[in-house]
Amino acid sequence: MRVLSIQSSVAYGYVGNSAATFPLQRLGHEVWPVLTVHFSNHTGYGQWRGPVFPAETVAEVVEGIAERGVLGTADAVLTGYQGSPGVAEVVLDTVRRVRALNPDAVYCCDPVLGDVGRGMFVLPGLPELMRDRVVPQADVVTPNLFELAFLAGVELADVATPDGLRRAAAAVRAAGPGTVLVTSVEHAGLPDDRIGMVAVDGSGGYLVSTPRLPLNVNGAGDVTAALFLAHLSAGVPAALARVASSVFAVMERTHRDGAREIRLVQAQEALAHPACEFPVEQLWAD
């Protein structure tokens, strides 16, 4: 698979393209990273250096790829944090161009907008643009619970039950995406020491959970979206099992090492050969 990935980048650490590229390559996929920023480190440190690229620069890089005559050979477009309405417009135009050349290309959108306890952390206007124009163009969307509630137009409390999550996922799917992966799920009958993911497609909803680790790091969502895209051709249940196994292995190694940055390189065998030790449960059938 050839993946055009439009995301941020850091020199030190792992977020955005710096988190998504290596796992995809380790699985044997070709990645064309298009950078929206290039920072010294992720913003979780509170201090960073480096440029935010204007939308015109991002568009120029995509145009250069098109000039090589290969844009239509992309099998997928992957996006994460888009940063500004201008970049979102470039994303929409790029997806349109890729699909015009390859109607089978898949667009996987990680709608990075906010989180529980933090609220929205993007520029004003971007959440509505993502909800109303970008997400409807996606084939696959990977929100956390906070983002799912916003995209579905409901309150966070409304997705705090399995039935509420099901209705919200259905609302997002009705807007366009065929597959919705909800991350950081903390209910659906799960005990307090477990955290889950729920994936929903036309066949129903599926849950996988892993032990909750006392860990707060950046980049896990970027890895999750990339791996889910990579494994989705095997079907939602298989993709869930593989993603949960690989991401937990990375997080467990990170916790064991007491590291601030996720241990992608050190846990790479779990990326390439997930043990699939966590069972996937079908919550409902459609």
pLDDT digits 0-9 by tens, 19-29: 999 999 999 99
Predicted TM-score of the model (pTM) = 0.97
- pLDDT-derived band at 35 (thresholds 50, 70, 90) equals very high
In this predicted model, what pLDDT tens digit does every residue of 123-175 receive, in sequence order?
889 999 999 999 999 999 999 999 999 999 999 999 989 899 999 999 999 99
pLDDT band at residue 188 using 50, 70 and 90 as cut-offs:
low
Count CB neighbours of 170 within 10 A.
Answer: 14
Cβ burial, residue 235 (10 Å; 0-12/13-18/19+): middle
**Residue type present at position 167:** R
Place of tokens 């470039």: 90
The answer to whether residue 40 scores a pLDDT higher than 70 is: yes
Average pLDDT on 217-225 reads 96
Q: Which residues pair with 185 in a beta bridge?
A: 196
pLDDT at 85 over 70: yes
Residue 283 has a pLDDT of 93
For the chain, percent of residues with pLDDT exceeding 70: 100
Q: What is residue 207's predicted lDDT score, i.e. its pLDDT?
A: 96
DSSP assignment letter at 118: T
CA dist., res. 225 & res. 140, Å (int): 9
pLDDT at position 245, please? 98
Q: Please say whether the beta carbons of 251 and 220 come within 8 A.
A: yes
Instruction: Classify residue 266 by its DSSP letter.
Output: T
| pLDDT value, residue 282 | 96
**Parallel/antiparallel/unpaired status of strands 204-211 and 280-285:** antiparallel
Alpha-carbon 135 to chain mean position: 12
Contact residues for 157 (Cβ-Cβ < 8 A; gap 6+): none
Q: Which CATH architecture does the domain made up of 2-285 adopt?
A: 3-Layer(aba) Sandwich (3.40)
Taking the domains of the chain in order of start, what are their residue ranges?
Answer: 2-285
> How far, CA to CA in Å, does 132 sit from each of 100, 121, 258?
21, 18, 40
Residue 140 pairs with which residues in a beta bridge?
A: 108, 179
- What is the percent of the chain where pLDDT is above 90? 90
Q: What pLDDT digit, counting tens, does each position of 264-281 carry?
A: 999 999 999 999 999 999
Longest CA–CA span in the chain (Å) reads: 53
Cα(258)–Cα(130) distance, integer angstroms: 35
